[in-house]
Amino acid sequence: MFVLVEMVDTVRIPPWQFERKLNDSIAEELNKKLANKVVYNVGLCICLFDITKLEDAYVFPGDGASHTKVHFRYVVFHPFLDEILIGKIKGCSPEGVHVSLGFFDDILIPPESLQQPAKFDEAEQVWVWEYETEEGAHDLYMDTGEEIRFRVVDESFVDTSPTGPSSAEATSSSEELPKKEAPYTLMVGSISEPGLGLLSWWTSS
């Protein structure tokens, strides 16, 4: 679920931090820049793990700050495909079941990947597994807040860097705002395997 990623960046340290240890100042600046941010095709950055190398620092004309090229390792949330994770149901919609890990919310289990047969209860706004038994079908609700075990089968990175408006956008109404997309989304695969789905389904009474 968490990986160490080697990175290189140039860190600017303002003059009022020169009295501090250089490593402490650099660590603080790196965490300010990267913590809780998504790096394209890398994952969600969590925190600095360590600094492996500091190159020479430079002060440029007109800027009293020092600029240091830093080699470091960062803790990143990036589950591997087919990894099994446990989260909590954040909510349900016709698009599927939305799951949260607490620090990461952009997880979706689409309808075709739920325990089958499944239906969406419009009144309750929850997905329901119509569990077949010898006595007939029993409705098992996927309620908000329930813990759920799922398998990661796909992920999606979206480049959300700002871009200039196209000619078509320039002529469109200013009231039309582009749809905001999450920079990193986990598309979760089937939970219809034995042991996957709500933990309460598989807990012996």
pLDDT of residue 178: 52
Mean pLDDT of 166-173: 49
pTM for the model: 0.77
Q: What does the pLDDT read at residue 166?
A: 54
Every domain of the chain and the residues it spans: 2-77, 83-159+181-201
If one counts every other C-beta atom within 10 angstroms of the C-beta of residue 36, the result is 11
**What class, spelled out in words, does domain 2-77 have in CATH?**
alpha beta
**pLDDT single digits (tens) 6-36:** 999 999 999 988 889 999 999 999 999 999 8
Give the closest residue to 116 by CA, choosing from 192, 199, 202, 197.
Answer: 192
Phi, psi of 179 (to 5 degrees): -70, 130
Instruction: Return mean pLDDT, the chain.
Output: 84
Predicted local confidence at residue 190, as pLDDT: 65
In terms of DSSP H, where are the helices of the chain? 22-34, 167-171, 199-202
Within 10 Å of residue 101's Cβ, how many Cβ atoms? 18
**For the residues of 119-164, what is the DSSP string, one character each?**
EEETTTTEEEEEEEETTEEEEEE--TT-EEEEEEEEEEE------P
Q: Could you tell me which of 16, 11, 3, 2 has the C-alpha nearest to residue 53?
A: 11
Asked whether the predicted pLDDT for residue 196 surpasses 70, the reply is yes
Which tens digits make up the pLDDT trace of 59-107?
888 888 999 999 999 999 998 888 999 999 999 999 989 999 988 888 8
User: What is 83-159+181-201's CATH topology?
Assistant: OB fold (Dihydrolipoamide Acetyltransferase, E2P) (2.40.50)
